[in-house]
C-alpha cells in the first residue's frame, strides 16, 4: 500500500497526534473482536454479561465469564500495531492513545499516554468501599470475590448503561480537540460516546485517518481510509516517520 502525499505531509507537519483504538487492533494478538462474524457478541449477549443488573442478578455467571476473558488476555501478547503506536509516542511531540479496549495491550507494548475509556480488565474494585484488587487477589477459586469490608468485588470495566470514567473521558476529549491528526484504528465506531471522538477531532480541525479492513460509519467522514490490518499498516506508517526523522537529523548536521 502506498500512502498519499497528503497523508505523508499531514504526518510530517503534525505536532499533536491521537490514536483512537478498538478491538480490531488486538485481533492480530488473538483477542476476539465484538461484532465480526466470530465476534464475542455473536456468541454471548451483552445484556446477560456486561451490565450491572446482570451482575447483581447472577454474579457467578458474570465472574465466570470475566475470569475466562482475563485468562485469554493474560496469555496474549501485543502485536506489531501496538508496538508501532508505542514508538510513535517517542516521535511526535504529543501523542495519545485513546482506547476502548480493556486488554491493557497498549501499556504492555510501552505506550504511556493512554486513556482507557472502558476500563482495564487487569483491575478490580470493591463496589462498597472502592478498594482496588489485583487479579492474583481475586482469582483464587472463589466464584464471586468479596472485600474484607464485605462488599462484592467487580472487574474495573465499564458496562452498558454506565458512565465512562470522568478523568479518562475529559483527557480524551481534550486530546481530540488539540489533535492535528487522528488515527481511528480497528473500531466499528458504533458505541457512543466513544465513537463521537473522531468526529469531535474533525470538527476541531484534525485530519482523520481510518485503518480497518472494512468500511465503518466513520469512513465517509475520514480524510483517508487505509483498508487493511492495523498490524500491517501501522508499522509501515512508522517506517515513513522514522525515515523522515532520520532525514531531518542528517540535514541538521
**Comparison of 34 and 63: residue with beta carbon closer to ligand OAD:** 34
Which residue in the list 82, 118, 240, 250 is annotated as catalytic? 118
Least CB distance to ligand OAD at residue 15 (A): 26
Q: Does 105 bind ligand OAD (CB under 6 A)?
A: no
Cβ proximity of 200 and 173 under 8 Å = yes
Cis peptide before 179 (omega within 30 of 0): no
Query: Would strands 119-126 and 153-157 be described as parallel, antiparallel, or unpaired?
Result: antiparallel
| Size of residue set near ligand OAD by CB under 6 A | 26
Among 52, 139, 152, 191, binds ligand OAD (CB under 6 A): 191
Least CB distance to ligand OAD at residue 149 (A): 27
Q: Rounded to 5 degrees, what are φ and ψ at 119?
A: 95, -165
Cβ proximity of 223 and 209 under 8 Å = yes
Among 49, 50, 80, 201, binds ligand OAD (CB under 6 A): 50
**Comparison of 37 and 251: residue with beta carbon closer to ligand OAD:** 37
Q: Does 120 bind ligand OAD (CB under 6 A)?
A: no
**Comparison of 107 and 147: residue with beta carbon closer to ligand OAD:** 107
Least CB distance to ligand OAD at residue 132 (A): 20
Among 35, 108, 178, 244, binds ligand OAD (CB under 6 A): 35
Among 212, 218, 222, 238, binds ligand OAD (CB under 6 A): 212
Cα torsion 244, 173, 116, 231: sign: negative
Our answer to whether residue 118 is catalytic in this structure is: yes
Cα torsion 75, 79, 82, 84: sign: positive
Catalytic site positions = 118
Contact positions vs ligand OAD (CB under 6 A): 22-24, 27-28, 33-36, 39, 50, 100, 118, 158, 186-188, 191, 211-214, 216, 229-231
Amino acid at each position: 500500500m502506498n500512502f498519499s502525499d497528503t497523508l505523508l505531509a499531514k504526518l510530517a507537519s503534525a505536532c499533536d497526534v491521537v490514536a483512537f483504538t478498538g478491538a480490531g487492533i488486538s485481533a492480530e494478538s488473538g483477542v476476539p473482536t465484538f461484532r465480526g462474524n466470530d465476534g464475542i457478541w455473536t456468541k454471548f449477549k451483552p445484556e446477560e454479561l456486561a451490565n450491572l443488573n446482570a451482575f447483581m442478578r447472577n454474579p457467578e455467571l458474570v465472574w465466570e465469564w470475566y475470569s475466562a476473558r482475563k485468562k485469554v488476555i493474560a496469555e496474549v501478547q501485543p502485536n506489531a500495531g501496538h508496538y508501532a503506536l508505542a514508538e510513535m509516542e517517542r516521535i511526535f511531540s504529543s501523542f495519545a492513545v485513546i482506547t476502548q479496549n480493556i486488554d491493557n495491550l497498549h501499556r504492555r507494548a510501552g505506550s504511556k499516554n493512554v486513556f482507557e475509556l472502558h476500563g482495564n480488565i487487569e483491575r478490580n474494585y470493591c463496589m462498597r468501599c472502592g478498594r482496588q484488587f489485583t487479579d492474583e487477589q481475586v482469582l483464587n477459586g472463589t466464584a464471586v470475590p468479596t472485600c474484607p469490608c464485605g462488599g462484592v468485588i467487580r472487574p474495573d470495566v465499564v458496562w452498558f448503561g454506565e458512565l465512562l470514567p470522568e478523568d479518562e473521558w475529559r483527557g480524551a476529549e481534550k486530546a481530540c480537540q488539540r489533535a492535528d491528526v487522528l488515527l481511528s484504528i480497528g473500531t466499528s465506531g458504533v458505541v457512543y460516546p466513544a465513537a463521537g471522538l473522531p468526529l469531535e477531532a474533525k470538527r476541531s480541525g484534525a485530519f482523520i485517518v481510518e485503518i480497518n479492513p472494512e468500511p465503518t460509519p466513520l469512513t465517509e467522514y475520514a480524510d483517508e481510509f487505509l483498508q487493511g490490518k492495523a498490524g500491517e499498516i501501522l508499522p509501515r506508517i512508522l517506517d515513513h516517520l522514522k525515515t523522515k526523522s532520520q532525514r531531518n537529523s542528517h540535514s541538521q548536521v
